[in-house]
Structure 1
Amino acid sequence: MTDAMTDPEGVWHRLAGSRELPDGRERPDGHVLLDGFHALKHALRFGAEVPVAVTADRAAALALADELAPDVRPALDALLAEVPQSVYAALVPRPHPTAVAALAVRPSREARLARLAHLPRTAPVVVLDNPRNLGNAGAVIRLAAGFGATGVVTTGTLDPWHPTVVRGGAGLHFATAVERLAVAELPAGPVFALDPEGDDIRGVKLPDDALLAFGSERSGLSPELRARADHLLSLPMRPQVSSYNLATTVAMTLYHWSAQTSS
């Protein structure tokens, strides 16, 4: 008989009922990989259901919780199972410095759509139009959660729940609504799209029910999104500087919205 502690796939099979190979992809039973201590910490803080968590160094992980996240320390103490380093490393696409990994139940699509569609909104929805970079998408989700945005919607082929995106978002997918939709399926609300030819954002007040849309890193806004936009806005930029990073652009736009809200 193969022991779960020497069979990486067996860890997930026995503890979470996964049927997928341990390559970091979403499990067919609705589980997603939480890669690293901070992803697990945030998922627990924002109500994720986490059936299994493993670590190569339980004492170190709990010490990190004592230092950085005492609010979730009891939950981590009950969840974390220690496995050999070789087993942990085989369970994740790229070992995290904290040597922690977990499976969380992905929120239902119906719940995410209901949150995005609910009106009146008290914070904007961020729309990433045909994003290409998984890390940038994760960074945007982390920003959106930090600013209290209603959610993040992607259009196109990128899966916003891809393990690399979840890792980049530090588990904060569970703090906001994250979904992939076609442009025609976007929630109701005025669309303010960032474009180099748009009006200077500093002269525009962004309403709480806005959809803040950002084009892809390479090609900008798609024709479909541009046609859907109610307003085109631009960020101040020094001449001869080509562009800002996507996450930076989102951060500046959300800051502009939040500064108006708090003033």
Structure 2
Amino acid sequence: MTDLGPDASGPGGPGPGVSGPGRTGEPDVAAAAATAAAALAVWRAHVGPCVLLDGFHALKHALRFGAEVPVAVTSDRAGALALADELAPDVRGVLDGLLDQVPHGTYASLVARPHPTAVAALAVRPSRTANLRALARTPRRTPVVVLDQPRNLGNAGAVIRLAAGFGATGVVTTGTLDPWHPTVVRGGAGLHFATAVERLDVGELPPGPVFALDPEGEDIRALELPDDALLAFGSERSGLSRELRARADHLVALPMRPQVSSYNLATSVAMTLYHWSATGGVGHVA
């Protein structure tokens, strides 16, 4: 829907909010209010089953990878479209037809923490059945990243963003963290829609050899990681769970200076995916 806010006329004409001959500005104000109210009604109808896309970049990526987006709002439509012109001309037309202007207070009430781009949207979550099918499909040309009982929502989002960038088949979490939590989606910049993201028990992991990162494992530089690998990472605090360690086919260690305790989770995933891509991974993004 198009922003129907107050008119800004050309040189010599009345400015925003100023009435000229035969014009009071009231129809424009009323139309803008009606547009905002309609967008809010659609939002309320979809907020339960849908996923929050928090910020311009999350919406941009979700649209690029085929997400169904029933509603998108912004308190700065012109600014959002200018960003699209600069950073995402491929989805600019879609955004032009999708974004509704709402007052900033209305926008801020829909999100936990307003994004600098003042954009928010709702997207239909991909089918779990379809995701599980993608994860289980063999032969697999790119790895699956497994986060074993992760704790930090932002780190989980960063890992999903990395996995999407490397073309990984998917990201699986074990434990209680919801990989579709709004904070995870925000950290992933909407790239949940570019890969299969699900929460599973260790016993439900998709097929493939499990290469689990562990300080006592074999130096990763001596290994070639297969394309169908499950690359498993424990939490920074407690490492691999007993269940995941028992499921592992190989323990793998990243090079690290003595007396350094650990790497950040996303950093570990990035190094491991890079090693896979640089040592023969056939499905990686060139």
Report the TM-score, using the length of structure 2 for normalisation: 0.84
Q: Deviations over 1:75-121 (max 9, x none)?
A: 00000000011110111010000000000000010011000000000
Which residue is 1:168 aligned to? 187
Contact 1:5 1:11 in 2 (8 A): no
Shift of residue 5, structure 1, vs aligned partner: 5.6
Matched, 1:245 2:264: yes
Q: 1:14 aligns with which of 39, 42, 49?
A: 42
Contact 1:16 1:51 in 2 (8 A): no
Q: Secondary structure at the match of 2:279?
A: helix
Superposed, which structure 2 residues align to 1:23-102 within 5 Å? 27-28=47-48, 30-102=49-121
Structure 1: 5+ residue runs without aligned partners?
Answer: 19-26
State the one-letter code of the partner of 1:17: A
Which residue is 1:189 aligned to? 208
Which residue is 2:24 aligned to? none
Matched, 1:179 2:191: no
Which residue is 1:136 aligned to? 155
Matched, 1:152 2:180: no
Q: Secondary structure at the match of 1:252?
A: helix
- Size of the alignment, in residue pairs? 251
Contact 1:16 1:52 in 2 (8 A): no
Structure 2: 5+ residue runs without aligned partners?
Answer: 1-31
Shift of residue 260, structure 1, vs aligned partner: 1.1
Change (3 A) 1:15 1:91: closer
Shift of residue 17, structure 1, vs aligned partner: 1.6
Which residue is 2:20 aligned to? none
CA distance in 2 between partners of 1:246 and 1:10 (Å): 42
CA distance in 2 between partners of 1:58 and 1:73 (Å): 12
Report the TM-score, using the length of structure 1 for normalisation: 0.92
CA distance in 2 between partners of 1:87 and 1:225 (Å): 45
Report the structure number with the largest CA radius of gyration: 2
- Aligned residues: percent identity? 79
